[in-house]
Amino acid sequence: MEKLSFFLILDAISAVKGEVVEMQPFSTGRGRHWWSGVFGIMCLLVLSGCLPKSVPLATLPLDQPKAADLNLKGIDWYHKGKWEEALELFQAALEVNPDFVEAHFNAALALHQIDRHAEATLHFQRAGELAPQNQAIVNSILYRNHLGLSSTLERHLSGGYRYQH
């Protein structure tokens, strides 16, 4: 197993460098599958935490500049790891505009961070209802986990089992 893992990493490095990888199906020696480089890169990405993460969303202050400003301030606090403060600002933005999609999504992210998962799920649901075509929302791993839409693999990779109800 160690030898095979070592070769997967070598393949990943070879693929990144643009070197040719010898293609021989079902071989465990020096001639490996052509896809082993891709698999090796994916393993490295998973282990290093480089897969996409859910991040707060901003919006242009066109219709509701006060709500957009509160949302931006909440994002600043969120990135500083001050999730309670961020949540207060996202909720203040929702008081100004109850249908503010990004504020619902951002409030859900903050609630998730402070382990208030039932409330986070409600905000994720509302964001999805208001903007079902918003790819940043519907493809978010946390959104998918909270709403039970993620695959078993996604839940294992993201730790999603710990907050499902």
Number of domains in the chain: 2
Would you say residue 129 lies in a domain?
A: yes
Q: Which residues, at least 6 apart from 140, have a Cβ–Cβ distance to it below 8 Å? A: 54, 105
Pair 86, 128 in one domain: yes
In degrees and rounded to multiples of 5, residue 23 shows phi and psi of -105, 110
Which of the two residues, 25 and 157, has the higher pLDDT score? 157
* pLDDT tens per residue, range 91-139: 999 999 999 999 999 999 999 999 999 999 999 999 999 999 999 999 8
pTM of the model: 0.64
Pair 36, 83 in one domain: no
Pair 43, 71 in one domain: no
Tokens of 97: 């505009």
Would you say residue 57 lies in a domain?
A: no
Would you say residue 34 lies in a domain?
A: yes
Count of alpha carbons within 13 Å of 138, Cβ hemisphere only?
A: 8
Sign of CA dihedral 81, 83, 87, 147: positive
- Per the structure, the complete domain to which residue 87 belongs is given by 65-163
Give the CATH number, domain containing residue 140.
Answer: 1.25.40.10
